[in-house]
Amino acid sequence: MDQILGQVLRNAVWERLDMLADLATRADTDSLVSVARSELPRLTEGWRAMLSAHEPDERGDCPTCSTRWHRCKAPCSVWQVAHEHLVAGGLAPQQDLRRSSRRTRATVPNQSRAPKPTQVETTGRHALIPQVAAH
């Protein structure tokens, strides 16, 4: 059950990000301003919450990425990705949002898109409902 719930949560997040990326490239100016006003505060708060969980401890280790047997020195991959996308990304040439976000997911260890869907998860792009064969 936890695996299914996790898949549902991940799919919902990926779909929301896909929708926002599509809006950023296709929406008219008035719609884009409206979405930016509602979504940018939510996105910045989400980044802040995630980065707070990855703040280094007194030894300079990331408490979230570290395990009992392996300490992860700061900056961890979450901070590196944040810097790449929020700071350095502003200096890089603009790319198609869909292509750059897919490439980034593949480069972040343990934070890539969900595993290949099982046969139960094959309807639509993010579905968990079994696909019914068309007759």
Asked whether residue 34 is assigned to any structural domain, the reply reads no
Q: Report, as an integer, the average pLDDT of 48-63.
A: 96
Nearest 10 degrees: CA dihedral of 40, 44, 47, 49? -130
In a domain, 130, yes or no: no
Asked if residue 73 belongs to a domain, the reply is: yes
- Report the phi/psi class of residue 69: left, alpha or beta, with left for phi > 0 and alpha for psi in -120 to 50: alpha
pLDDT of 122 strictly over 60? no
Specify the number of domains making up the chain: 1
- Pick 132 or 93 by higher pLDDT: 93
Q: Has residue 132 been placed in a domain?
A: no
Which domain, by its residues, includes 18?
Answer: 2-29+47-114
Residue indicated by tokens 């896909």: 18
13 part of a folded domain: yes
Cβ atoms 128, 121 nearer than 8 A? yes
Report how far residue 16's alpha carbon sits from residue 85's, in angstroms, rounded to the nearest whole number: 18
Nearest to 35, CA basis, from 19, 59, 54: 19
Q: In this predicted structure, what is the pLDDT of residue 105?
A: 45
